[in-house]
Structure 1
Amino acid sequence: MATPVSATPTKAKRKLALVIGIGKYQHIGSLSNPENDADDMTSELKSIGFTVMKALHLTRDKMNSVLEEFKKSIQQSDMVLFYFAGHGVQWKDQNYLLATDIPNVSGIDLNEKAINAQRFLDDLCDQKPFVTIFLLDCCRTSYRNTFQIDVQNANTEESKLADFKEMHGAGALIAFACAPGIPAIDIPAGSVPRNGLFTKYLLRHIKTPNEDIRMILSVVRKEVKHDSKSRQIPFISDGLLEKNIYLCDQPQRK
């Protein structure tokens, strides 16, 4: 006798998150909000059932260790969420996340001195999770003039540092704080807002029950655009293979 097919949608086995905030940079401009962003994101995710690993102000070696530990913790069919607040930069069509001890480097040194974001996304997808949510609040304005570019190649496209480019991953949803090539707005120290603009609205909506993450991010994008007077517009790259991805999944009342 054939086993009946359940009409219930497939759900993630577990909900795991890695949250990283880096603002205390040793050699480039510090950022005001990433620690608050990471603290608040951790609290919100825990409140909707995520097991969260949080790390702040990591050196590159420590960050590599944390990323590896998180990757190894993933089991097939887990819902996986990665959130990063801090400095990020693009060089030669690759996006890099910058640790607290990043020196003044030429672009080519980023391969050894920074974290390749696409490579880490690919590592997560290789674990075959249910879905991967990749949230990057790191296209900041204040890094641009802090790097020492190779003078001999200063006028070539290869040597130019830029803001983040689009990323892709099968079964992954990647959200950037701003559109490719446009920096996010960093809030100066001492100002009233506690969080970066993208994270502010993400925190406001991430706990919406039974709402697809794509719809949540659509609302976040509209509110960031309005608040920034169109100077900052979050960008979404959708490679999800599943429908109705709820971060906050609650039973429906009958």
Structure 2
Amino acid sequence: MLAIIVCSSSARQQAQAQTGKRFALVIGNSNYQQVGHLTNPRNDAVLISASLQAVGFEVETLFDLGEEAMGAALDSIAERASSLDVIAFYFAGHGLQKNGKNYLVPVDAKLKTETAIERETIGLQSFMDVMERVPISLVFLDACRNNPFAEQLLAKSKAQGRSVPVQQGLATVRAIGDMLITFATLPNTLALDGDTDNSPFARALARHIKTANTEVSVLMKRVTRDVMAETGGEQRPQQLSQMQTEFYFSKNAETPTAAAPQTKTLLAVYPGKATTGQEVSLLADVPHSCSPSFINLAPSNKVTPIPLKFFKVIDLGNGQTRHEISPGSRYGLVVQEQDERGLHRIGFFCAPTDAVEADAKIKLLRAINARLKNGELSGTTAGDGQDAAAYHFSEYVVQ
């Protein structure tokens, strides 16, 4: 009987997560009084708000909040928490860390010394403590932009010959319960504000929030893939979660029609620049019809095959297979002292059946290399007399 009760409760919680009361607090801090204007946070907040509203969230969107106003926003969600089934919090603006704790910076902060951080900012943990009361909580932090506050504090301490426990970027935190925390970039690193009206992270997140029938953990992997692809591997979002309840931003009851065969390939390489001893991560999604051959092309056109055994292989269940090499894997791609310096191209081609013989592969590689030199990093090509072969490459620099 106990097992039946537990399963029933779990099912009810999942149903409430999809149909129950949803609320989102979205903050965009752009006009900082002491350190100038950030271009995109206001635009990012508008974009994310529209996407969340489109999938059934009641959204409160706030701009350019000072310390008092941010505190009031925190109080407001604390009052709402007991009536909610799902809560989302998105913050775009400046953030920093001190002693491993994260702080979101209001627009009126001065931060003349490191002792002012606790007084003039709002701790991320305060928001997490409130959101923990809601059955499902989602935190999205696009707050790792280049931060003049941290730079000033670090420069002042250096001039005075002392150290301060302040860092750029945000520190790793521990998600509690059914909480998902997403950083726009890896801990202790900086996110890009973007060359357009929105940051790469906000643009990818807004796009994928609207995807129906996709569980949030899978959805966020797609956000990560898109951000890495757009930034050339310079920025990699990170998710921290111990969620046990599945959550979907939107679901529909329609029976999906048979999908056309997948032909699109996806590739992300991180970082965009690497030095001796640093690992290069590679993620590729390929259709089941593709038998990928992975290679690295050095500046001198030297070809280095990358064995498939190096990759973690995952069937994505959508007609595609993911091949991934990440830091800490059993096999890694580590830059060696003897490796050529300069622009490398790394990726794969889907080997056609007639490219088994060595001569055929050489012809195919020559054709692909010619395309790559013309800036065509993905597409289809073939050697003389061969069937077309799909290929996809990305560039990175060995320094």
Q: TM-score, normalised on structure 1? A: 0.88
Q: CA deviation at 1:253?
A: 3.3
- Whether the aligned pair in 2 keeps the contact of 1:91 and 1:162 (CA below 8 Å) is no
Equivalent position SS for 1:69: helix
Q: CA deviation at 1:216?
A: 1.0
Equivalent position SS for 1:90: strand
Q: Deviations over 1:130-177 (max 9, x none)?
A: 211000001001424244745687533x43333101112212100000
Q: Distance in 2 between matches of 1:154 and 1:17?
A: 44
Q: CA deviation at 1:220?
A: 0.8
Q: Deviations over 1:195-249 (max 9, x none)?
A: 111111111111111211111110110111111111110011012131x210113
Determine which of 154, 157, 162 is the counterpart of 2:168.
Answer: 162
Q: Distance in 1 between matches of 2:215 and 2:131?
A: 21
Q: CA deviation at 1:40?
A: 1.2
Equivalent position SS for 1:62: helix
Closer/same/farther in 2, CA of residues 132 and 154 from structure 1, 3 Å limit = farther
Name stretches of at least 5 consecutive residues in structure 1 with no aligned partner.
none
Closer/same/farther in 2, CA of residues 234 and 152 from structure 1, 3 Å limit = same
Equivalenced residue count is 246
- Name 1:253's counterpart in structure 2: 255
Question: Relative to structure 2, which stretch is displaced further, 167-176 or 56-65?
Answer: 167-176
Higher relative contact order (CA 8 A, sep 6+): 1
Is 1:60 aligned with 2:67?
yes
Question: Relative to structure 2, which stretch is displaced further, 161-170 or 43-52?
Answer: 161-170
Q: Distance in 2 between matches of 1:154 and 1:117?
A: 30
Q: CA deviation at 1:30?
A: 1.8
- Name 1:214's counterpart in structure 2: 217
- Whether the aligned pair in 1 keeps the contact of 2:91 and 2:141 (CA below 8 Å) is yes
Q: Distance in 1 between matches of 2:161 and 2:77?
A: 37
Q: Distance in 1 between matches of 2:250 and 2:220?
A: 14
Q: Distance in 1 between matches of 2:92 and 2:198?
A: 10
Q: TM-score, normalised on structure 2? A: 0.57
- Name 2:136's counterpart in structure 1: 131
Q: Distance in 1 between matches of 2:162 and 2:254?
A: 59
Q: Which amino acid aligns with 2:59?
A: V
Name stretches of at least 5 consecutive residues in structure 2 with no aligned partner.
257-399
Q: CA deviation at 1:63?
A: 0.7
Question: Relative to structure 2, which stretch is displaced further, 5-14 or 206-215?
Answer: 5-14
Q: Distance in 2 between matches of 1:103 and 1:14?
A: 38
Instruction: Name whichever structure is richer in strand by fraction.
Output: 2
Q: Distance in 2 between matches of 1:118 and 1:33?
A: 25
Question: Relative to structure 2, which stretch is displaced further, 114-123 or 49-58?
Answer: 114-123
Is 1:231 aligned with 2:234?
yes
- Name 1:203's counterpart in structure 2: 206
Q: Distance in 2 between matches of 1:153 and 1:115?
A: 27
Q: CA deviation at 1:251?
A: 2.6
Closer/same/farther in 2, CA of residues 149 and 121 from structure 1, 3 Å limit = farther
Q: CA deviation at 1:183?
A: 0.3
Equivalent position SS for 2:45: helix
Equivalent position SS for 2:47: helix
- Calculate percent identity across the aligned residue pairs: 27
Is 1:92 aligned with 2:105?
no
Q: Which amino acid aligns with 2:75?
A: E
Q: CA deviation at 1:180?
A: 0.5
Q: Distance in 2 between matches of 1:54 and 1:154?
A: 43
Please tell me whether Structure 1 or Structure 2 has the larger radius of gyration of its CA atoms.
Answer: 2
Equivalent position SS for 1:133: strand
Q: RMSD over aligned Cα, in angstroms?
A: 2.4
